[in-house]
Structure 1
């Protein structure tokens, strides 16, 4: 078994996640490499892309959406993501494979499987070649099902009720209508949409893509990223075993921890050199979400409460040497306030340069250090 070190692995991840900011990087290539960018907070998704571009240009996510190069849809972990049109069917297939909406606890909390099936049929018809607001879609579903009891269900916590439709490839976000959210079907949004592949086929592409940005990793880490551990364990085991058997994946050891890497990446992982400088990454950045905040090699366990906060908020983070070494925030006056962890070391000069990149040199940097 090949022996690797976490220092090499984290340096490799920095480059694989475009945090070395290579020339020619685009919003689409970033989203593709990261296997999606969480977009619950649109500004954070835009900042995540800007943080990886050679120049910190804002608004690239919206432009890529306007060009239909990306799709915005509820996907991994039930959260809203930007995905490339090419990768979306595979990701949605694996999320849908868990059939979360058929579990007794989900049905008790949100809607029965029968109600979801009826809503799905109505949505498939309502969004065919059309874009509707939330209210319009709810009205169409009630009208097409002839079930007035669905009106209350759709009007209360109905984002959760519509997620299974997104996972099945029936619904995605449409173009913005002022401040109103709209929905359409992926088939309407993206020409040539062929529907979702079988999960086993999708796994042959999604797992290597994930490991190409966040590897080496265990099946459990992959499943936490995908569904917070909700995948069927037999399926997960079979997916990884098939990829090992075909030579796509190789088992490695990272400072004594067994994990899987893409076979093509092993030599680069063993030789990876550090990425110089500091990175100020936005809230909900994939550098943290990909491996998860419980990955102690990325987020020191004693600092996790500062990164993963109440109500699912993931703080903006300071990254140096491939590890989270602090948190930060920016106010409306472009003041960048950084709280460094004691293990951060002397990175004052690098912080100044990164803060200037974000604010165009017009901001004020304030640095505190935890005792």
Structure 2
């Protein structure tokens, strides 16, 4: 069995994630379609795109959404994801649960369903009856979306359940959300997979929502091999990988993950990676064994960049002591990367006249001038003045 080194894996993944060199606007679809660009917290996808194609500033990136070359919708792990509109079925309908499988991001709905004494499929069937109303309107703000759709569904419920539906939420913000609104919030993920809800343009800092049909002018078209194509994207960007890592990446149930994993049984090969058995697309094996040296030495990645979403974190950061500094429960800091390995973290703080950037580097030999250049480029891409950069080097 082939045994791979960490360097081979890092260099290969840098190329798969389009971080080995600077790419051009002509590469937009392959860059954004590699594995999608997460957009939570808001603006995360803009930083990720800039790190791959520097020609796209914040304003230019958002114009791509406005022009509908790219689409934003709830996708992997139930998170907002930006991807090519032409690949919508791969990032949406491919995530649909089969019979007896839990839908992604819907496990928490059970408390509300228990109060309503209704099952998931029953509520989803009612929701599917009212969602086409989004074909004719655009709704501003997620909270308004939840409560508006909950209001549409209310008349379809038995009288005894309507009172419970309108009670304050048990999930937080009871002054702003009802139990019905909370149920809808969970159910919007299956609706997104069916093309019934997508993100529209932002109004100032507030997102808007409508249907796929209303936004793009046609219903979501599904190719029969969309789920296979999604699996190829995962193994291409994150291989060598395991079934467990696929399940974590998708945020799906073990049953759904196993079904999808088995789709590529004849297209993958087993290798030894970092002392464990993992799998790779057979067609990518040569590139993995002989990866090209990256042209870019240092990267200043946003905290939720797809490259940092690798589940075998020891490959990215061999020293476990630093893992909690990069992968946190609420909001991750940015990562300073050298030749594919994380060597530090960074954060930015907005002030009235611009931003300041703080860096903590664990390798004292890191090139200060290059880090300063990266900080300046980041601020410029956001159209913000860089006030100061504070670099702290802490030896391991």
The answer to whether TM tops 0.5 is: yes
Q: Aligned with 2:359: secondary structure? A: strand
Give how far 1:106 is off.
4.0
Is the contact between residue 92 and residue 196 of structure 1 (CA under 8 Å) also seen in structure 2? no
Give how far 1:262 is off.
2.3
Question: Structure 2 matches for 1:150-299, cutoff 5 A?
Answer: 150-151=165-166, 152-156=178-182, 158-197=184-223, 201-227=225-251, 230-232=254-256, 234-241=258-265, 244=266, 248-275=267-294, 276-289=296-309, 291-292=310-311, 295-299=313-317
Matched residue, 1:357: 377
Matched residue, 1:109: 111
Give how far 1:10 is off.
0.7
Q: Which moved more, 1:62-71 or 1:140-149?
A: 140-149
Tell me the TM-score normalized by structure 2. Answer: 0.80
Query: Aligned in 2, Cα 1:28/1:63: closer, same or farther, shift over 3 Å?
Result: farther
Matched residue, 1:130: 137
Question: Structure 2 matches for 1:310-349, cutoff 5 A?
Answer: 310-311=329-330, 313-332=331-350, 333-342=354-363, 345-349=365-369
Is the contact between residue 39 and residue 82 of structure 1 (CA under 8 Å) also seen in structure 2? yes
Q: Gapped runs of 5+ residues in structure 1?
A: none
Tell me the TM-score normalized by structure 1. Answer: 0.85
- Report Cα offsets for 1:172-203 as digits up to 9, x if no partner: 122334454332222222244444456xx333
Q: Which moved more, 1:186-195 or 1:69-78?
A: 186-195
Q: Gapped runs of 5+ residues in structure 2?
A: 114-118, 167-177
2:151 counterpart of 1:139? yes
Query: Aligned in 2, Cα 1:278/1:56: closer, same or farther, shift over 3 Å?
Result: farther
Give how far 1:330 is off.
1.9
Give how far 1:27 is off.
4.7
CA distance in 1, matches of 2:10, 2:24: 21
Matched residue, 1:22: 23
2:367 counterpart of 1:367? no
Question: Structure 2 matches for 1:87-106, cutoff 5 A?
Answer: 87-97=87-97, 99-101=101-103, 106=108
Q: Aligned with 1:259: secondary structure? A: strand
Give how far 1:89 is off.
1.5
Q: Which moved more, 1:148-157 or 1:165-174?
A: 148-157
Kindly tell me the number of residue pairs found equivalent between the two proteins. 358
Is the contact between residue 40 and residue 79 of structure 2 (CA under 8 Å) also seen in structure 1? yes
CA distance in 2, matches of 1:239, 1:285: 27
Query: Aligned in 2, Cα 1:263/1:279: closer, same or farther, shift over 3 Å?
Result: same
Q: Aligned with 2:347: secondary structure? A: strand
CA distance in 2, matches of 1:146, 1:180: 34
Give how far 1:68 is off.
1.1
Give how far 1:269 is off.
1.6
- Report Cα offsets for 1:33-81 as digits up to 9, x if no partner: 2x11111222221111111114462223311111111221111111111
Give the superposed CA RMSD: 2.9
Is the contact between residue 219 and residue 240 of structure 1 (CA under 8 Å) also seen in structure 2? no
Q: Aligned with 2:22: secondary structure? A: coil
Q: Which moved more, 1:20-29 or 1:4-13?
A: 20-29
Query: Aligned in 2, Cα 1:89/1:330: closer, same or farther, shift over 3 Å?
Result: same
Q: Aligned with 2:86: secondary structure? A: coil
2:331 counterpart of 1:309? no
Is the contact between residue 39 and residue 45 of structure 1 (CA under 8 Å) also seen in structure 2? yes
Query: Aligned in 2, Cα 1:234/1:254: closer, same or farther, shift over 3 Å?
Result: closer
Query: Aligned in 2, Cα 1:258/1:193: closer, same or farther, shift over 3 Å?
Result: farther
Give how far 1:11 is off.
1.0
Q: Aligned with 1:217: secondary structure? A: coil
Q: Aligned with 2:43: secondary structure? A: helix
